[in-house]
Amino acid sequence: MAVVADGADERERGGSVVTGWDTHEPQSNGNLHCSVTLPLVTTLLHLSDLHLDDDLARGRLDRALRILPPSRRPDLIVITGDLADHGRREEYVDLVSAMRGDIPWIVCPGNHDDPALMAQVLGWDQSGAMSLDVDDVRVVALDVTVPGEDHGHLRPEVTDAAFRAAEDAENVVLALHHPPVPLGHEYADSIGLSNPTALGDLVIALPRTRLVVTGHVHTALATTFAGRPVVGAPSLAAALRPDPAARPLTDAGSAPGVALHELGPDGVRSSFHYAWDAATSAA
């Protein structure tokens, strides 16, 4: 995994990590210079709530995928659910078309998704958990959806599958659609994860968990849970209005937003970025 300390040479994207720099730790001969090899920062681009169903939604996804300059190219793209708006095959095919490129990506289902169709089109693992490694970080994506419902629930069989997928990993990122923490928004909190204790138990069982990433509530979210950072990405489709009495609840004129997570030996740095365009800025 990846941290480039100050003074270290940056990795070439296609190569392995090689950095040498001064730790200023004394050696047995009294010298202060000790050359060590450090991992580099592993960068995850985090998207959520795409709600793909038409050209407008596809355009918002395209804008989000171009939001970062080449100098900040992510190592992996994580999409935390509601990939499709109606759970139709053509919406998942459209996602595959949009994601063509050399950056690996992993998804989990949301309440608008059809996990069975995701399995057919995207290769989703119907055990309820699938994983992907980048550097020495393993991202484990979980299915916490409840058929026909908006809230989420972490089932025991998914917990077991996630543990098996992650138990030997050096660093773990758990990805799920529904946040395990309240937002302070009456409606959003009514459709969250119904059994957050189950997720907390999984985090405890996986002590190398570095980060939990979520979506669902259509707004940026940053807090802690079970002693780990939890970060929710903004929606690409529409932003949650802060007033739970507002109608509509979301603002479709908002700029699509993403989260960027940089994982290194000293911790996790997360930031949020928005794909403003001339029309959005003028609105």
Q: Are residues 216 and 271 in the same domain?
A: yes
Query: Containing domain of residue 30, as a range?
Result: 1-40
Q: What is the pLDDT of residue 24?
A: 30
Confidence of residue 39 (pLDDT cuts 50, 70, 90): low
Do residue 33 and residue 84 come from a single domain?
Answer: no
What pLDDT sits at residue 276?
87
Query: Band of the pLDDT at 26, cuts 50, 70, 90?
Result: very low
Structure tokens at 201: 């138990």
Percent of the chain with pLDDT over 70: 84
Banded model confidence at residue 16, pLDDT cuts 50, 70, 90: very low
> How many angstroms separate the CA atoms of 153 and 203, rounded?
16
* 31 pLDDT above the threshold of 50: no
Distance of alpha carbon 138 from alpha carbon 104, whole angstroms: 13
Same domain, 120 and 251: yes
* Average pLDDT rounded to a whole number, residues 87-93: 98
Q: Indicate if 71 and 22 belong to the same structural domain.
A: no
Pull the structure tokens for residue 270.
């997360």
CATH number at residue 148: 3.60.21.10
pTM, whole model, 2 decimals? 0.85
DSSP 8-state code for residue 249? S
Residues 11 and 113 in one domain: no
Q: Which residues have CB under 8 Å from 259's CB, separation 6+?
A: 45, 46, 213, 220, 231, 232, 233, 234, 270, 271, 272, 273
Q: Would you state the pLDDT for residue 200?
A: 99
Same domain? For 56 and 34 the reply is no
Q: Do 159 and 106 belong to one domain?
A: yes
Judgement on whether residues 269 and 174 belong to the same structural domain of the protein: yes
Asked if residue 251 has pLDDT above 80, the reply is: yes
Closest by CA to 128, choosing from 112, 144, 152, 151, is 144
| pLDDT band at residue 174 under the 50/70/90 scheme | very high
Mean pLDDT score, 120-135: 97
Q: What is the mean pLDDT of the chain?
A: 87
> What is the rounded average pLDDT of the residues 232-261?
97
* 5 and 61 assigned to the same domain: no
* Comparison of pLDDT for 225 and 23, the residue scoring more: 225
Q: Is the Cβ–Cβ distance between 64 and 272 less than 8 Å?
A: no
Confidence of residue 278 (pLDDT cuts 50, 70, 90): low
190-216 pLDDT, tens digit each: 999 999 999 999 999 999 999 999 999
What does 185-229 look like in DSSP terms, one character per residue? Answer: -HHHHHTSBS-HHHHHHHHHH-TTEEEEEE-SSSS-EEEEETTEE
Number of domains in the chain: 2
CA distances from 115 to 104, 112, 128, 206, 227 (A): 20, 10, 9, 25, 30
CA 89 to chain centre: 23
- Indicate if 260 and 138 belong to the same structural domain: yes
Can you tell me the distance from the alpha carbon of 27 to that of 32, in angstroms, rounded to the nearest whole number? Answer: 7
Give the residue among 47, 73, 72, 69 at the shortest CA–CA distance from 60.
47
pLDDT score, position 40: 74
Structure tokens at 280: 């959005």
Separation between Cα atoms, residue 206 and residue 142, nearest integer Å: 14
144 and 224 share one domain: yes
- Per-residue pLDDT of 256-271, as tens digits, reads 999 999 999 989 999 9
Are 33 and 93 in the same domain?
Answer: no
